């Protein structure tokens, strides 16, 4: 009887322990989830604080991703300096931003500086004008760029120079003009919108991909050199974005491509990409890949299995060439 009684007590005790454990699991998981949510909210608040009242320069702000970046950084309380070639479109954007009101967020009126990024002398003058707006720059977002479509055999070398001038030498010239003031203040953030094609190369994009590879290399070097001066550097590598980039692309003879590619039409929403840029800048991330599963996989294949990648690209080149001939 004693043995049976002890056995029953142990069984009852085990049952109560399991019930207690079962009741505690949801409580523990719920508490962990609540703590995680609070942490994310605190992080988001801290990151937004990095943007509030910051002087943010955005090139290529009149359309596409640049325009969406202007919207999200303005909503975060940044003091914007909108840059581009088309003053009328920049003024229209500035007016649109001015009409956006948020009782919970302090908003600033955007400034405008117009210049041609391919003209390095104009870039130097523009940098002086930019610095006069608020006396300094906290965040420089090099976004402006041009794309290219064409075969290497039929592409004039001047087209390569044109694409490099806008996509590489332009951002480099502007960055180096703004950089000394950041170093002097021991504070600042330089960001550049590169491309997944700065990490991998695909057929019929030679000039564009080359300019983005150069961009990746330059800003990687800049990051290492600027860390000791307190200046952060971020490189963003998005995949296809639903903008007019392919429509405005240049071809091998320098003429406008004028076609909205299917991959571009089905690309990421620029507003979503802009939000990702805002978050990453707030977190001062160094290298951000903003591409879908296939382009991301391609980056890893190029790194880990280069021979396979080369075969895949050769096959793609043949397939696209046949499609053009048909």
Please identify every residue annotated as catalytic. Answer: 208
CA Rg, the chain, in Å? 26
DSSP letter for each residue of 208-270: HHHHHHHHHHHHHHHHHHHGGGTEEEEEEEE--BSSSTTTT-B-TTS-B-----HHHHTSB-H
Look-up of token digits 């010239």 = 173
Write phi, then psi, for 31 (nearest 5 degrees): -65, -40
In angstroms, what CA-CA distances link 79 with 39, 66, 110, 166, 199? 27, 15, 6, 25, 32
Torsion of CA 217, 218, 220, 225, to 10 degrees: 140
**CA 118 to centroid of chain Cα atoms:** 21
In 3D, which of 233, 234, 244, 241 has the Cα closest to residue 274? 241
Residue 100's SS3 state is: coil
* DSSP code of residue 57: E
DSSP type of residue 197: G
Backbone angles phi, psi at 39, to 5 degrees: -65, -45
Max intra-chain CA distance, the chain: 101
Kindly report the length of the chain: 326
């Amino acid at each position: 009887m004693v043995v049976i009684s002890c056995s029953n007590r142990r069984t009852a005790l085990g049952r109560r322990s399991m019930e207690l454990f079962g009741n505690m699991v949801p409580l523990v998981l719920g508490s962990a989830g609540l703590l995680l949510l609070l942490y994310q909210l605190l992080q988001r608040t801290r990151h937004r604080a990095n943007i509030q009242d910051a002087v943010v320069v955005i090139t290529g702000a009149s359309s596409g991703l640049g325009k969406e970046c202007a919207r999200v950084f303005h909503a975060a309380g940044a003091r914007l300096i909108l840059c581009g070639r088309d003053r009328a479109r920049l003024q229209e954007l500035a007016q649109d931003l001015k009409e956006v009101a948020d009782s919970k967020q302090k908003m600033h009126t955007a400034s405008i500086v117009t210049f041609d990024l391919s003209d390095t002398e104009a870039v130097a003058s523009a940098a002086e004008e930019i610095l006069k707006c608020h006396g300094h720059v906290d965040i420089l977002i090099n976004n402006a760029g041009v794309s290219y479509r064409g075969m290497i055999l039929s592409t004039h070398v001047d087209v390569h120079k044109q694409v490099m001038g806008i996509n590489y030498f332009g951002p480099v010239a502007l960055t180096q003009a703004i950089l000394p003031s950041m170093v002097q203040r021991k504070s600042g953030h330089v960001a550049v919108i590169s491309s997944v094609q700065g990490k991998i190369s695909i057929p019929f994009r030679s000039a564009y991909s080359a300019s983005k590879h150069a961009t990746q290399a330059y800003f990687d070097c800049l990051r290492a050199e600027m860390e000791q001066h307190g200046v952060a550097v971020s490189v963003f590598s998005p995949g296809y974005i639903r903008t007019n980039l392919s429509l405005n692309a240049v071809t091998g003879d320098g003429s406008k491509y004028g076609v909205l590619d299917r991959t571009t039409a089905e690309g990421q929403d620029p507003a979503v990409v802009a939000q990702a840029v805002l978050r990453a800048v707030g977190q001062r991330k160094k290298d951000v890949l903003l591409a879908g599963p296939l382009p991301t996989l391609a980056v890893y294949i190029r790194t880990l299995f280069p021979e396979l990648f080369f075969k895949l690209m050769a096959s793609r080149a043949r397939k696209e060439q046949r499609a053009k001939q048909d």
